[in-house]
Structure 1
Amino acid sequence: MDRLRIGVIGLGWFGEIHCDAIAGIPNLELAALCTRTESRLAEMATKFGVAKTYTDYADMLADPDIDAVSIVTMWDQHTDPTIAALKAGKHVFLEKPMASTVADCARIMEAAKDAKGILQIGHICRFNPRYRAAKEAIDAGRIGKIVSMSSRRNIPAAWTPTILNKIGPIVGDAIHDTDLMLWFTGDRVVSTYAQTVDVRGLKHPDIGQTMYRFAGGASATLETVWCMPEKTPYDIDERMNIVGTEGFIQIQDTFPNLGIADAEKFGSPDTTYWPMFEGVRGGALREEFAYFTKCALAGEKPTIGTPEDAMAALEATLAAEESARTGEVVKIG
């Protein structure tokens, strides 16, 4: 087999972006779509020219012509379709967060143990070339032992009212930086303390401030603000500092690596994660799907985006949210 036929389960805004990225990868065929909303299903089928459409993922998984699925449902609806897909012998690309509980992560991992298909979790930041370069420098010993890390991942308020009724900024976004910090250190988080700020009275607070202590002694701070003002001239303010005993690394992604001023405003569009060039999504998401496709076609388990790593990131961020609710330091493991 030199081509993977994939179906997408969940067609919200990011499910559509997944479809955009898949459509641009030569050995990956967007072969089927699934969502419970029939009008959305028809709209996306027309946009992407997909003939096979389903309102029930079980019907998609029963199709022997579908080799793989991308699961982009809400995070608390990941577990059942993922386990079903693995049992059906499909390769599975599962968006982060892996699940909404550590127990569900464990259930997914158990299903993946003897599955015919591979399982990759979509922690996209590992495919950002700046973080990849940082990882190589760390692994080469260029900054010595990591002792401190800090991150910022702030986005405009206009993006988040709907999202904040489903997920909070710590699990929703700080999980990216948590995953990166676990990757860079090769360590585990042993305790966390967090605070949140409720600005707009939505289901989840707008701001999360998190601190971690790692088993090896390093500490970290993570800032996630989901209510940047209306005139904020960028889609995301993303930065990380990594301090070692012999050096440091600074990463600044989108503030701004490209600035465009026109008659209306000054803006800094995404050039890293899923930029659109000539109608095709590029960037880290494309690289992530290309890696998934390569692993699946070769029958090799991914070493990036493993379920073990994804569960560790979820466990740490859920503990941080518990700390924010209780006002206490939460120990892990």
Structure 2
Amino acid sequence: MTGPNDPSTGPSVVIAGVGRFGDLHARVWAEAGARIAGLVDPDADRLAEVGRTHRVARTGTDLAALLGQVRADIVVIASDEASHAELAMTALTTGSHVFVEKPLALSAADAWRIADIAQAHQRQVVVGHISRFTDQMTRMRARVERGAVGRLCALRLRRDFSRAWFLSFGDRVDPVWESCVHDIDLAISFAGTRVRRVMAMRSGAAGDAAPSVVTALLEFDSGVIATVESAWLVPFSAPGTLDDGPLDLDGAIVGEAEVLGLDGMLKQRLVSDALVEWTKAGVQVPDLSLWPEEDGAVGGALRREVRYSLAVCTGRGRPDLMPLEQACWGVEAAEAIIESLRTGAPVEPARR
């Protein structure tokens, strides 16, 4: 007997990119009822390892070639950032829906090109801005929409990462695409409009680490302003937030989000003292919002994000929580921030 969550009856999924996060995606999509039909990665050894872990026989180093052999209802893109746009366009033109990890693309032109192809082929694209799916942000957004803080005036968003992460992978693209893009997206989700103008600076005091320390000011069409700050400078001695969980990522994400309105204010901290663990391994403040283990399965925001994506791609849900248009606005804003960092001047994001 099979049921709605039986892998043999679920939509077929191909995972493009099987690094740490691609490996985790394979697990979560399978737990959500999808059938992992194939894996793609340029690293043949890693491909074989993850294929064995998830018992996936169909693998390849080229997405277009694999999609010629394997039917994929959905292609999940968890590869390096520079490859997102090309892989998304390949998947869409072969008839697959797409889930792509953030950022959607590294240029506004490519982002809107993906949107055009998706519309032409009547396919869905969901961008993996996971912070939208946390309990805290879901509640904060609902409170703003219900008028709890009155007229929205300003947003303050800060997200700091472990210094070791920058040395390991943070400089493969401009860190704006790695860290700031999370909070650019959150600001857009609260403001609900496009970014009109940006001004950004890096820390000259950081020396060679300057790319990892960014402050940006965003002005929206609605008049709302937002500050987005990111520093990959959290020391190794800081309490870990992701050390013990389904993702092999030792270190910490530390930050805050504030929503300011004429009638009230909402504030959330990414590191909470609700649970602190002092053990032989050191001090841990485990994050229970992103992808915690819950009863033997991955839970939290990642599970909700995947279930939302499955519903959108199978026609059982509306693409309302993560509209593709807003993901394109985020790419516009990130691109403008990088240009402002280069020129030292205010920049208006390119609009089509």
Q: TM-score, normalised to structure 2's length?
A: 0.89
Name the CA shift for 1:105/1:23 in 2 (closer, same or farther; >3 Å). same
| DSSP 3-state at the match of 2:167 | coil
Change (3 A) 1:256 1:47: farther
2:308 to 282, 291, 295: 291
Structure 1 residue 177 displacement after superposition: 1.2
Instruction: Say whether 1:303 aligns with 2:320.
Output: yes
Aligned length: 331
RMSD: 1.9
Match for residue 297 of structure 2?
280
Select which of 20, 24, 32 maps to 2:31: 24
Offset of residue 64 of structure 1: 4.9
Alignment-derived partner of residue 13 in structure 1: 20
Q: Take 1:256 and 1:112, find their aligned partners in 2: how far apart are those partners?
A: 43
| 1:219 Cα offset (Å) | 1.6
Choose which of 229, 236, 247 in structure 2 pairs with 1:230. Answer: 236
1:94-105 map, 5 Å: 94-105=100-111
Residue identity matched to 2:100 = L
Whichever residue aligns with residue 196 of structure 1, its letter is R
Shift >6 Å, 4+ stretches: none
% identical equivalent positions: 29
Higher relative contact order (CA 8 A, sep 6+): 1
Question: How many Å separate the matches in 1 of 2:283 and 2:70?
Answer: 49
Uncovered stretches (5+) of structure 1, i.e. residues with no partner: none
Q: Distance in 2 between matches of 1:15 and 1:100?
A: 19
Q: What is the rounded CA distance, in whole Å, between the counterparts of 1:144 and 1:74 in structure 2?
A: 40
State the partner residue of 1:328. Answer: 345
Task: Find the counterpart in structure 1 of residue 98 from structure 2.
Answer: 92
Q: How far apart, CA to CA, are the structure 2 residues paired with 1:126 and 1:138?
A: 14
For 1:167, the equivalent position in structure 2 comes to: 173
* Structure 2 equivalent of residue 141 of structure 1: 147
Look up the SS of the partner of 2:313 in the other structure: helix
Q: 1:47 aligns with which of 50, 53, 74?
A: 53
Which residue of 1 is the match for residue 88 of structure 2?
82
Counterpart in the other structure of 2:41: 35
Q: Distance in 2 between matches of 1:256 and 1:166?
A: 33
Aligned to 1:247: 264
- Secondary structure of residue in 1 paired with 2:327: helix
- CA offsets 1:69-100 (integer angstroms, 9 cap, x no match): 10112221112221111111111101110001
- 1:205 match: secondary structure: helix
2:37 and 2:295 map into 1 onto residues whose CA distance is: 22
Q: Displacement of 1:39 after TM fit?
A: 0.4
Task: Say if 2:84 and 2:104, in contact at 8 Å, map to a contact too.
Answer: yes
Q: Distance in 2 between matches of 1:117 and 1:182?
A: 23
Could you list the per-position Cα deviations for residues 264-305 of structure 1 after superposition, in whole angstroms to 9, with x for gaps in the alignment? 311112211112345532211111111111122226552222
Q: Is the 8 A contact 2:193 2:220 kept in 1?
A: yes
1:185 aligns with 2:191: yes
